[in-house]
Copies of this chain bind each other. A is one copy, B any other.
Amino acid sequence: MVSLWIIQIVPSIKDIARIAGVSHCTVSRALHHSPLISPATAERIRDIARRHGYVPNAVARSLVSRSTHTVGVVVTTIADPFIGEVVEGIESMANEHGYSVILANSKADPELELKVVDGFTQRRVDGILVTASRVGAVHGKRLAGTNVPIVLINNQHPGEFAHSVGIDNVTASRAIVRHLLDLGHRRIAYIGDRSGYQSDAERYAGYRAMMPAVDPKLVMRGDGKPEQGECAAIQLLGLSRPPSAIICYNDMTALGALRAAATLGLRVPEDVSIAGFDDLFVASYTSPPLTTIRQPKQEMGRRAMSILLQLLAGEEPESRILLPGELIVRGSTAPPL
């Protein structure tokens, strides 16, 4: 069977002009409700446009207005639930202000990220948002040199960029430690992330600041995923003087720690308290549910987009916004026996 092509004619402003018997610029003005056009003809033109299914061509408009009303969003992966929430926030804020979101995946690969940003530049996005980038480390200066305004969210290698939104890791981390100290814990372990992220450094700093003394045996590093969290927790719980509580860099790591406790036949929170960071959806459904720090994910997206909007309006927004985390106490922490 041969494929049949029906050429769908989408009418242009000129087609409408011809039908209405006016010039195409009059149509343009009528469609924009310009006060220059007489109400009668304006209405007549709009009616014709409607009946003929006229849809303005944003591409042509962008070419002359030199603005696409589009923002590029770079993510390491959109399948990550954390990033999904952030993008949800970006998208809603963008949408409320007439902007569209172009999404691109960098797969955390610096080369790909550069390609992605190049693609954004070709498409003439008005601005760029980058989430959870470790990429600043590699191509920071290069990106920062672009003409397009860039706002970073949860940037892992700050410095090069003017504008960013993040979470107050130190304060949040201190809040978790305080919570555990208040419960009566004294031997508190920390399972961090060895990737060299600033967020890990800050969370660890909060931990150190609150602890009267830190036993180096109680500090380990994973990779932010459950498996290594499990390994680290197994080692910690096997110590001659094991911790009574474990603070994890993030919820993923805590998932592994919970599993480690189960494997070792330890009860949470009776035998060991475990805390995470992020408050992913899964944190409410583990057994027991996880005590953690809630990051305002959507809010972070909205704020970042809002900074971008200000930048595009020629304003001078705050350069670095630090949002507070919220301690969510659930069943995985309790006084030590």
A residues engaging B (CB < 8 A)? 1, 3, 5, 8, 10, 55-60, 62-63, 68, 70, 73, 77-81, 83-85, 87-88, 91-92, 95, 100-105, 118-119, 121-124, 147, 226, 255, 258-259, 262, 281-282, 285-287, 298, 314-316
Residue of B nearest to A61 (CB): B122
Could you say which of B56, B100, B124, B314 contacts A102, with CB atoms under 8 Å apart? B100
**Protomer copies:** 2
Cβ contact within 8 Å between A123 and B104: no
Chain B residues near A315: list those with CB within 8 A. Answer: 3
Could you say which of B56, B59, B104 contacts A100, with CB atoms under 8 Å apart? B104
Supposing A101-B104, A285-B282, A287-B262 touch, asked if A78 and B84 sit within 8 A by C-beta, the answer is yes
Residue of B nearest to A107 (CB): B92
Supposing A55-B122, A78-B78, A255-B285 touch, asked if A91 and B63 sit within 8 A by C-beta, the answer is no
Cβ contact within 8 Å between B59 and A87: no
Cβ contact within 8 Å between B100 and A119: yes
> A284 to nearest B CB, angstroms?
9
Cβ contact within 8 Å between A59 and B1: no
Supposing A88-B105, A92-B105, A95-B104 touch, asked if A122 and B56 sit within 8 A by C-beta, the answer is yes
Chain B residues near A88: list those with CB within 8 A. Answer: 77-79, 105
Cβ contact within 8 Å between A81 and B78: no
Cβ contact within 8 Å between A95 and B102: no
> A174 to nearest B CB, angstroms?
27
Cβ contact within 8 Å between B103 and A87: yes
Chain B residues near A84: list those with CB within 8 A. Answer: 78-81, 83-84
18 residue pairs of the A-B complex, CB under 8 angstroms, read: A1-B316, A3-B315, A5-B314, A55-B121, A57-B63, A59-B59, A59-B62, A59-B63, A59-B124, A60-B63, A70-B102, A77-B88, A78-B91, A79-B88, A83-B84, A101-B102, A102-B102, A287-B287
Residue of B nearest to A10 (CB): B147
Cβ contact within 8 Å between A316 and B3: yes
Cβ contact within 8 Å between A281 and B81: yes
